[in-house]
Structure 1
Amino acid sequence: MDYDQICRSVLALDPKVRFAGICDETGETKYGGMREGMTSLLSPQESQKSNLQAVGRWGLRKSLTSKTGKGIYAMTEYEKLKRITIPLDDDHLLVVTTEVDADHGNIISNTLKLVKQ
């Protein structure tokens, strides 16, 4: 899986996608980044902390997969953005942030198609 290409493709899906990045189990963004011209709402340290929290939540979800099935994605809406997380493998999580008024359903659907390719 070409992680850089996935991030570029997600950013190209919709102009309301602010960020597409892939982090590892430490929360560090290893691939991708902000859309050109956009300013991050979080510092690099805050972004890593936010990613690490998302990684931790996915770890908790995994503990229930025998009953619920494997998690496909999670989406949280905040006052200033939406954040979508998609597990790629045991060590990588795709994090996508969008504007609040973005069509997250369409972005999620198309992102899942990209990830499955």
Structure 2
Amino acid sequence: MDYQSLQEKAMKISPAIRYATITDMNGKIKYSGHKKGVKNLLTSKESIKSLKTSANTWKARNQLSRKIGRGKYALAEYEKIKRIVIPLGKTHLLYLTIGARADHSKIIKRAIRLKLK
């Protein structure tokens, strides 16, 4: 699978995207990168923990999908950033962080269209 190409496409969706990562459903990073000049707010260890937590939360959501339908995305809004998690089929996730003031609805609409090949 071309994780790098998909991550690069995700980064091009909006200049507001700070960070884009493709993970498997266990939170294992397949490809990751951030916008040049952007300072990481989390340490590497904290980022890995956040990715694993997001993957585990997504798996928990999937347990309810038979009753409420498959999840389209998850959005968490913080003071400094917004974090968006979007499923890429059944086996991968796209994890984006964007600026706190960015219009997340436009970014989500475009990111949902991305597919892992």
- When normalised by structure 2's length, the TM-score is 0.90
- CA deviations 1:81-113 (Å, max 9, x no partner) are 000001113432110000001110000001112
Aligned partners of 1:92 and 1:116: how far apart in 2? 8
What is the aligned-residue RMSD (CA, Å)? Answer: 1.7
- Per the TM alignment, residue 116 of structure 1 is displaced from its structure 2 partner at its CA by 7.7
- The aligned amino acid for 2:103 is D
| Structure 1 pair 47–92 and aligned structure 2 pair: CA distance change class (3 A) | same
Instruction: Name 1:40's counterpart in structure 2.
Output: 40
1:16-67, Cα deviation, whole Å (9 max, x unpaired): 1000111224423221311111111111110010011101111110110110
> Partner of 1:97 in structure 2?
97
Q: What residue is the counterpart of 1:49 in the other structure?
A: 49
Q: Give the match for residue 82 of structure 1.
A: 82
Residue equivalent to 2:7: 7
1: distance between equivalents of 2:33 and 2:112?
18
> Aligned pairs, how many?
117
Deviates more, 1:78-87 or 1:32-41: 32-41
Distance 1:10 1:68, change over 3 A: same
23-32 or 49-58, larger mean C-alpha shift: 23-32
Partner of 1:69: 69
Q: Is 1:110 paired with 2:110?
A: yes
Relative to total residues, which structure has the larger helix share, 1 or 2? 1
Give 3-state SS (helix, strand or coil) of 1:96's partner: strand
Q: Which runs of 5+ in 1 are unaligned?
A: none
| Cα distance in 2 for residues equivalent to 1:26 and 1:13 | 25
Give the drift of 1:4.
Answer: 1.3
Identity in percent: 40
Identify the residue that residue 28 of structure 1 maps to in structure 2.
28
Query: TM-score of the superposition, structure 1-length normalised?
Result: 0.90
Quick check: 1:16–1:98 contact (8 Å CA) kept in 2? yes
1:59 matched to which residue of 2? 59
